[in-house]
């Protein structure tokens, strides 16, 4: 006797989530079923609410409730600096630091020959348009330090090369708290090449 | 700039799931947001569907689409045997084996003095009613082999003691694939006490 069909369909939908297999999805659904008859309805309403009220910002691709997101509308943010990231999650990570005061540009992924992701699948044209607007002075290419992130940064650096903006990339090196012994060779090489003088 | 309020409310709702913290909940929500504008709406519909169409079986507490679940309605199941389990997930685990052909009784938890869970919080009265019906010959107490599961089984065994049914409990012993070296003392002790003669 399997679970009723509507429950199975729900489980199947949940297995699409990153890192969620059938076992975890089933656990989630049984938890909701057990909690209360209305717990699932509540969650359904929350989901519908969120789905109906947010969309990608037309300028930068971050999550917005109107045409533009809170960053793009915030007069306190430095409009001369744009930090290019792969995903909304990256924006959240950078905001957690509380250091950066500029705007963002969410690409929505990285270039990947393997997965057939080209510039047209990402918010690349939008980035070039923003830079063409003239207000931007610096573009920080904060894509990942893996092969695809590096390729994407290189591609964007070239595309932005002749537009009179400063193009930068966050420093690579030894992450805090790690011992030299267990570092991979590439990180260690880059850390050594990028070494800096320290005070007297 | 935090995420919009409806998105934050959704994340907060998801952190109620077992094993899901804010980080995982955020990852789930961003995945839905990124997938497509309608992915979240689809999931909301699936949830509302499931929430609206299932409820606990009035007899045994398993997930049902009508008053009684598929097990209780199935004429092919052995109505003389009732397997008492803590949760719906336990039923699924036993069904996966494909061995058991009787009915179930989902308690909805275990007795716990610590958490203030008494017999009235579980489907105990319903179990006694079923047994009083006269059709049941054997009750298998398949609660967990931990302290609370054992206590619950003991409590039920006593409550069922004078009702003329056979009350059993699944065997405890060495789980398949494990080496003696790493077994806990209680399991090993029980396995030794429950030793059986093997063929010539």
Domains in chain A, start-ordered, CATH in brackets? Answer: 5-51 (1.10.8.420), 77-197 (3.40.1360.10)
Sheet holding B138-141, edge to edge: B102-106, B78-85, B138-141, B166-168
Rg (chain A; Cα; Å): 22
What is the spatial distance between Cα B119 and Cα B114, in angstroms, rounded to a whole number?
Answer: 14
What residues pair up with A64 in beta bridges, in sequence order? A55
Task: Judge: A34–B74 Cβ closer than 8 Å, yes or no.
Answer: no
What is the spatial distance between Cα B10 and Cα A189, in angstroms, rounded to a whole number?
Answer: 43
Residues A160-188: tens digit of each pLDDT: 988 889 999 988 888 888 888 888 888 88
Check pLDDT > 80 for residue B200. Answer: no
Q: Average pLDDT of chain B?
A: 90
Contacts of residue B142, Cβ cutoff 8 Å, sequence gap at least 6 = B83, B84, B85, B90, B94, B169, B170
Residue of B nearest to A62 (CA): B3
For residue B13, give the nearest of A43, A51, A95 by CB distance: A43
Residue of A nearest to B2 (CA): A92
Name chain A contacts of B83, Cβ cutoff 8 Å. none
Q: How many helices, marked H, and strands, marked E, lie in chain B?
A: 8, 6
Name chain B contacts of A65, Cβ cutoff 8 Å. 4, 6
Restricting to B residues 70-99, those with a Cβ less than 8 Å away from any Cβ of A are: 70-71, 74, 87-89, 92, 95
In a mutagenesis test of the B interface, which of A63, A85, A93, A97 is the best target, namely the one with the most B β-carbons within 10 Å?
Answer: A63
What is the spatial distance between Cα B39 and Cα B32, in angstroms, rounded to a whole number?
Answer: 6
Q: How far apart are the first and last CA of chain B?
A: 75
Please tell me the predicted confidence (pLDDT) of residue B176: 86
Instruction: Compute the count of residue pairs across chains A and B with CB atoms less than 8 Å apart.
Output: 157
Q: β-strand B55-56 against A166-168: which pairing, if any?
A: unpaired
For residue B7, give the nearest of A27, A50, A89 by CB distance: A50
For residue A13, give the nearest of B43, B63, B65 by CB distance: B43
What is the spatial distance between Cα A96 and Cα A175, in angstroms, rounded to a whole number?
Answer: 17
Q: Check if A49 contacts B (Cβ < 8 Å).
A: yes
Residues A105 and A127: beta-carbon distance below 8 Å? yes
Check pLDDT > 90 for residue B103. Answer: yes
Please tell me the predicted confidence (pLDDT) of residue A48: 87
Name chain A contacts of B71, Cβ cutoff 8 Å. 1
pLDDT band at A190 (very low <50, low <70, confident <90, very high): confident
Task: Judge: B41–A47 Cβ closer than 8 Å, yes or no.
Answer: yes
Name chain B contacts of A35, Cβ cutoff 8 Å. 16
Residues A133-150: tens digit of each pLDDT: 989 999 999 999 889 999
Q: Average pLDDT of chain A?
A: 90
What is the spatial distance between Cα A144 and Cα A156, in angstroms, rounded to a whole number?
Answer: 13
Please tell me the predicted confidence (pLDDT) of residue A67: 93
Please tell me the predicted confidence (pLDDT) of residue A1: 58
pTM surpassing 0.80? no
Check pLDDT > 70 for residue B83. Answer: yes
Please tell me the predicted confidence (pLDDT) of residue A37: 63
The residue whose two tokens read 């050594």 is: A192
**For residues A37-62, average pLDDT:** 87
Check pLDDT > 80 for residue A2. Answer: no
Check pLDDT > 80 for residue B90. Answer: yes
Check pLDDT > 80 for residue A157. Answer: yes
What is the spatial distance between Cα A107 and Cα A183, in angstroms, rounded to a whole number?
Answer: 29
What residues pair up with B139 in beta bridges, in sequence order? B82, B167
In chain B, the percentage of residues whose pLDDT exceeds 70 is: 98
Check pLDDT > 80 for residue B1. Answer: no
What is the spatial distance between Cα B20 and Cα B12, in angstroms, rounded to a whole number?
Answer: 10
Task: Judge: B88–A40 Cβ closer than 8 Å, yes or no.
Answer: no
Closest approach of chain A CAs to the CA of B27, in angstroms?
7
Q: Check if B49 contacts A (Cβ < 8 Å).
A: yes
Instruction: Quote the tokens at residue B25.
Output: 């909940």
Task: Judge: B18–A27 Cβ closer than 8 Å, yes or no.
Answer: yes
Residue of A nearest to B68 (CA): A4
Check pLDDT > 90 for residue B40. Answer: no
């Amino acid at each position: 006797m399997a679970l009723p069909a509507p429950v199975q369909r729900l489980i199947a939908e949940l297995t699409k989530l990153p890192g969620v297999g059938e076992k975890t999805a089933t656990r989630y659904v049984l938890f909701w079923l057990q909690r209360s008859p209305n717990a699932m309805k509540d969650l359904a309403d929350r989901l519908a609410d969120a789905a109906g009220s947010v969309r990608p910002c037309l300028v930068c691709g971050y999550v917005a409730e109107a045409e533009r997101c809170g960053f793009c509308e915030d007069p306190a943010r430095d409009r001369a600096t744009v930090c290019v990231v792969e995903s909304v999650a990256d924006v959240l990570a950078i905001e957690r630091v509380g250091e950066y005061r500029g705007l963002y540009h969410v690409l929505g992924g990285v270039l990947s020959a393997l997965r057939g992701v080209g510039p047209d699948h990402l918010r690349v044209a939008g980035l070039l348009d923003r830079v063409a607007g003239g207000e931007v002075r610096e573009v920080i290419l904060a894509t990942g330090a893996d092969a695809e992130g590096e390729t994407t940064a290189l591609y964007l650096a070239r595309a932005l090369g002749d537009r009179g903006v400063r193009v930068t990339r966050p420093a690579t090196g030894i992450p805090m708290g790690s011992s030299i012994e267990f570092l991979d060779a590439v990180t260690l090489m880059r850390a050594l090449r990028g070494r800096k003088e320290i005070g007297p």
